[in-house]
Amino acid sequence: GNSVTQMEGPVTLSEEAFLTINCTYTATGYPSLFWYVQYPGEGLQLLLKATKADDKGSNKGFEATYRKETTSFHLEKGSVQVSDSAVYFCALMNTGFQKLVFGTGTRLLVSP
Amino acid sequence: KAGVTQTPRYLIKTRGQQVTLSCSPISGHRSVSWYQQTPGQGLQFLFEYFSETQRNKGNFPGRFSGRQFSNSRSEMNVSTLELGDSALYLCASSSGDRSSYNEQFFGPGTRLTVL
């Protein structure tokens, strides 16, 4: 079946540090891949997406590249801010099915 | 364009009771999906409704049910509540077009506490 594995948190960084959150997946077919972010007390917001191999999704300084050969979709940001503190979820969806499969989430804490 | 709305935002029930949660999708969206979020199990898919029909279902017991109305609003019902049903319930709406990727937009969730 489909599954997503992402690194355990929390990830604790100082402001302006480089961020990497690892995500790997197992899927049948050719899924679309996503990163969602959840701020305290809120629902999920789509951060970025990639719908086919070698696509790079980017938004608000965050980037992730769909790597079919390594089944990975790692999230990166060159310089984090305190306001980036949140929980980040990697997810996949097979085309034609409105069902997201999520990783366990990684909490990011950024200190000034 | 108004986002996805969920009501109520918070709910406290006791074991054995039943509960109904509501979700209003973005205007024009015909697909509504429901997810359960708990600290232990993470985010899990409950079911998806499209044009008033359940189109996809997750691995949850029959106590969890849902429906969708002709205006695409959806409700989910949990009967005979158990302590383990305490969770944040999220709904997401999308156009539902199966031929291509279409983004799911999430509501703020309903926080259910079972005592």
pLDDT classification of B43: cutoffs 50, 70, 90: very high
C-alpha–C-alpha distance, residues A91 and A98, integer Å: 12
A44 touches chain B (CB under 8 A): yes
| pLDDT the model gives residue B30 | 92
Name which of A6, A62, A2, A60 is nearest A32 in CA terms: A2
- Give contacts of A37 with chain B, Cβ < 8 Å: none
Helix, strand, or coil (residue A42): coil
Residue among A99, A104, A107 with most chain B CBs within 10 A, to mutate: A99
Q: Specify whether the CB–CB gap between A4 and A105 falls below 8 A.
A: no
A32 touches chain B (CB under 8 A): yes
Q: Which among B56, B90, B108 is the nearest to A99, CB-wise?
A: B56
The count of residues in chain B is: 115
CA distance B59 to chain A (A): 12
How far, in Å, are A63, B57, B79, B107 from residue B61 at the CA level?
Answer: 38, 11, 10, 24
**Percent of chain B surpassing pLDDT 90:** 85
More confident residue, B101 or A81: A81
CB contact under 8 A, B48 and A42: no
A96 touches chain B (CB under 8 A): yes
More confident residue, A97 or A106: A106
Q: How many CB atoms lie within 10 A of CB B87?
A: 22
Q: Specify whether the CB–CB gap between B1 and B27 falls below 8 A.
A: yes
Pairing relation of β-strands A56-59 and A11-14?
unpaired
**For A25-75, how does the pLDDT look when each residue is reduced to its tens digit (9 = 90+)?**
999 888 999 999 999 888 899 999 999 999 999 999 999 999 999 999 999
| pLDDT the model gives residue B1 | 66
| pLDDT the model gives residue B72 | 95
**For B81-107, how does the pLDDT look when each residue is reduced to its tens digit (9 = 90+)?**
999 999 999 999 998 776 666 788 999
Q: Specify whether the CB–CB gap between B57 and B44 falls below 8 A.
A: no
**Percent of chain A surpassing pLDDT 70:** 100
CB contact under 8 A, B35 and A100: yes
Question: Is residue A94 scored above 70 in pLDDT?
Answer: yes
